[in-house]
Structures are given as structure tokens and as C-alpha cells.
Amino acid sequence: MNSKTIKNIFFITIRFILGGIMLYGGYQKFAKPLPEPTQMITQIEKEGSQKLTEKPNILVIKNYIFGMKQTGYFWQLLGICEIVFGLMILSQYMSFVGALMLIPITLHIFLFHLFLEPDDTAELFQTGGFLVINILLIAKEYKKLKPLLWIKP
């Protein structure tokens, strides 16, 4: 096998990894019913103040995700975008556009874990890997993006 074939196999593999992960993540957004508006308050009242002081970072994460779900649209929109962009990355002809559109989502996932779960290094490396894969997919098609970024006067 020559280097071009190995490079093509590598990019096909990472496209399948990122596209599959996004499809799975998008599907999971719809797997559970959305919480009731008062569910978080009721849960905090049941757990008591002792639980709140034990792990405040867990409460921040729960509140953040709960807030996205409570908007009534954002959690579902995020799921739809992950599914659509994941399918675009898996397709042969739309993978570049899918990677471009997915970069804010993979960046957000990485930053979520970096700032809200910095102690969990395994997830940090995993989500960092997704971001690197996304950047690699965009960098592979850099020649298509360059005319859009540098317009000659």
C-alpha cells in the first residue's frame, strides 16, 4: 500500500468515528423524556443541603444541562444538529461541510469537559480527540476553504 491509500483509509476511519459518535450523541438527546420545569428544585429539596456542599461541580454540570433542556428547544436542536452533521460527515460528498458545521459543537463539548470536569482526564482526552479529528477533517480540505478566507482585492 502506498502512502495515499493509507492516508485515505485513515481519514475514512476518523470520519466514521466522529460521524458515529455524533449520531449516537444526537440519538441520546431524544432517548429520555425532557424534565418538568420544577424537577431540579424538587430534586435539590429531596437531597438536602448536605449533597450540595459535597460536590458543587456536579451541581454546576446538572444545572447547565438542565438549563439546556428547559429552554424547550435547545436540547432537541443540539440533538438534531448532531444527527444531521454526523450523517453529513459519514457521507462521501458532504463530509467537509459537515465537519465545518460540526466544529462549534465539538469545541463546545471539549470546553464543557475542560472547564466543568477538569479532573476527568479520560473524558477530556476523548473529547479533545473528537475536536482534533474534526480539525483534521477540515484541514484535509484546506484548499477548498482557503478562497473563502483570503479574498484577493
Written as one string, the DSSP assignment of 47-103 is H-HHHHHH-HHHHHHHHHHHHHHHTSSHHHHHHHHHHHHHHHHHSSSSHHHHHHHHH
For residue 130, what pLDDT is reported?
96
For residue 118, what pLDDT is reported?
87
For residue 113, what pLDDT is reported?
93
For residue 48, what pLDDT is reported?
60
For residue 54, what pLDDT is reported?
58
Cα–Cα distance for residue pair 95/110, rounded to 1 Å: 21
For residue 47, what pLDDT is reported?
67
| 27: nearest Cα among 81, 102, 99 | 81
What is the mean pLDDT for each group of 10 consecutive residues in the chain (153 residues)?
Answer: 90 95 94 72 64 68 82 89 96 91 96 91 94 95 81 73
Cα–Cα distance for residue pair 7/73, rounded to 1 Å: 40
Residue 36 DSSP code: P
- pTM, to two decimals: 0.83
Count CB-CB contacts under 10 A for residue 12. 13
Do residues 98 and 57 touch, judged by C-beta distance below 8 A? no
